[in-house]
Amino acid sequence: MDAQSRGRADEIDPADQWVLNPQTGDYELRLTQSGGDSYRTPSAPSPRGSGRRGAVRDDDGEGRSGARDGSGRGPAPRREVPGQRGRRPANGPRGPEGSGPEAGGRRKRKQKKGRRKKALIWTGGVMAFVLVALSIGAYALYQHFNSNLSTVDVGDVGNKNVTSEGPLNILIIGTDKRTGKGNEGYGDKGSTGHADTNILFHVSKDRTNATALSIPRDLITNIPDCTTKQPDGTDKVIPGTQDIRFNVSLGQDGRDPGCTMRTVEEITGLKVDHFMMVDFNAVKELSTAVGGVKVCLAHAVKDPKSHLDLPAGESTVQGEDALAFVRTRHSFGNESDLDRIKVQQQFIGSMIRQMKSDDTLTSPTKLYKLANVATSALTVDSAIGTGKKLVSLAKELSKVDTKNITFVTAPVIDNPAEKVHATVVLNPAKSDPLFAMMREDTSLTEVAAQKKAAKSKQDALLKGTKAAAADVRVDVLNGGDIPGAAQQTVTWLQNEQGVLKSTNKANAPEKISKTTLTYAPNQADQARALAAMMGLPGSALKQGTVDAEGLQAMVLTLGADFKGAGVPVTGPAKAPDGIQKASADKAECAK
């Protein structure tokens, strides 16, 4: 006989079998009137208000017998679980409102309320159990994924919380390391792995858009000094190198991914927050985990060096074929690394579309397989080196609509120092404005209307009358990375702009990423004049609520975006013409 039928047989309402234990504050299940529990051994049913006999607790927690009659005589128990209420006979008389149990039943309204309350309590208990079970399962998964991950401590170069405000800059490094089954056959056996494929993924502050900047491995640049963590926990400074290929920023002379991150910062002026590194195995395993990646070829390809063998048109590649596709350099364009970058961007764009497809997102099996492979294939900085932190990062990245992800390659020209052009150098006429746009968090893609409206509102601050230079009064603080920037700016303002009432206030209390100009409402004309001189965007202007009094000056705090006196802080609103770019939302055929 089940619990419910036992309750009926004993004239006990099944809903009333959940009773409150006043010692714990919890409701507990009592299946029969005669069945004991750890808190009370109830006697036969008794009318309400009559004496009850049951077990009570000593201070040491052991049960003891006690009795109490209706007048309260006898040993008084400390607390006891309330007795179960009698069930009214089906055909018995119904007592008047306010009558006792002997009148034959309870008010119907109260009975329904009691049942509903206890049913909710029971449901809540089940839900709590389910949530605990899910939490344990999630914890086990996180622990499993944590054990998969490889991490590198890159010090303070990568320590930003992925959910904090502001743009996110993630450096994705693809190495040419040959470890793993079948990879030594590609040549360069025993390579330590260099920064072969490099993409700086810039996610906007409002998470509406992203720019994926490819940096050619053969770019001639300067690699700065970098501090690396040694196996024994000590720090070692790797000396920088001038005029050398970008790809040796990793692996060469003991350089770790932190060195590559610092090199990217030197090139672009963007603060790199984190890195993710993959090797040949990762390409093969990730492409397989998503069920293959769709690619398109304008013509058939059979490349003996990369082992790529595909027909013209659309194909789905995974494993070895996927690796061959991203490695081939002699199959498209002029067979340069720049043309290979285009192919890699097409492949990554297709993989992003596949990962964000309903087929992947709604399949627990695919999601688990993808997460398991990704954590096993990735090496990341220690600041994001747990499954939970990677999930948080993935959530931030997933907020960006695929149509608002733009792939772009750093604008370069052939290295004029070489007769045989095997390397390239930056083209400042195009790279400087492109990097400035990224620093200003300006999208290369059309995004939501509200963002444009916000920018228009900011730009409106720059419109209106401007004070004469001689009337501009400003205190300058250095919150950027250039030593002596505040004095440099004051000298420029006084000698070249005629702002004689400018004062060097030395270093700001803390570093800031963006230059700001704080001013009072009655200093708006001064703020517009200074913004025009320095090329400040409307977003840099911060108006207070109280008018300035007497000789109070505005406060200009130089940020990491400040590149020198006389260099406009604001970036261009439009990308320079002629740069190579593509959308992650559109499939293109490699030519």
pLDDT in tens, the chain (591 residues): 444 444 444 455 544 555 556 666 555 555 544 444 444 434 444 444 444 444 434 443 444 444 444 444 444 444 444 444 444 444 444 444 444 444 444 454 555 555 655 555 555 556 565 556 555 566 666 677 788 888 999 987 767 788 778 899 999 999 986 454 544 444 445 556 899 999 999 999 889 899 999 999 999 999 999 999 988 889 999 999 999 999 999 998 999 999 999 999 999 989 999 999 998 888 899 999 888 999 999 999 998 888 899 999 999 999 999 999 998 888 888 788 898 999 999 999 999 888 887 677 777 788 788 888 888 888 999 998 888 888 888 888 888 988 899 999 999 999 999 887 789 999 999 998 899 889 888 888 866 544 555 555 556 677 889 999 999 999 999 999 899 999 999 999 999 999 999 999 999 999 998 899 999 999 999 999 999 899 888 888 999 999 999 999 999 999 988 988 988 887 777 788 888 888 888 888 888
- The total domain count for the chain is 4
Residue 117's pLDDT is 57
Give the integer Cα–Cα distance in Å for 346 and 588: 7
CB 144 within 8 A of CB 368: no
388 and 529 both lie in a single domain: no
111 and 86 both lie in a single domain: no
164 and 254 both lie in a single domain: yes
Rounded to 5 degrees, φ, ψ at 492 are: -65, -45
Residue 17's pLDDT is 54
CB 209 within 8 A of CB 447: yes
44 and 140 both lie in a single domain: no
366 and 269 both lie in a single domain: yes
Tell me whether residue 259 is in a domain. yes
83 and 141 both lie in a single domain: no
> Residue 273 belongs to what domain range?
150-439
Tell me whether residue 447 is in a domain. no
Residue 336's pLDDT is 84
Tell me whether residue 569 is in a domain. no
CA distances in angstroms from 446 to 35, 406, 418, listed in the order given:
71, 10, 39
174 and 119 both lie in a single domain: no
370 and 353 both lie in a single domain: yes
120 and 164 both lie in a single domain: no
260 and 115 both lie in a single domain: no
**Count of CB atoms within 10 A of residue 99's CB?**
13
Give the angle 179-183-189 at the CA atoms, nearest 5°.
65
Tell me whether residue 102 is in a domain. no
CB 536 within 8 A of CB 557: no
Give the integer Cα–Cα distance in Å for 18 and 376: 49
Tell me whether residue 482 is in a domain. yes
45 and 122 both lie in a single domain: no
Tell me whether residue 587 is in a domain. no
Give the integer Cα–Cα distance in Å for 486 and 477: 6
Give the integer Cα–Cα distance in Å for 468 and 460: 20
Q: What is the DSSP string of 523-550?
A: GHHHHHHHHHHHT--GGGEEE-SS---T
195-203 and 210-214 as β-strands: parallel, antiparallel, unpaired?
A: antiparallel
Q: Is 564 left (phi over 0), alpha (psi -120 to 50) or beta?
A: left
Give the integer Cα–Cα distance in Å for 502 and 476: 7
Residue 43's pLDDT is 41
Tell me whether residue 580 is in a domain. no
Residue 557's pLDDT is 97
Tell me whether residue 591 is in a domain. no
Inter-axis angle of helices 337-355 and 320-327, to 10 degrees? Answer: 140
509 and 468 both lie in a single domain: yes
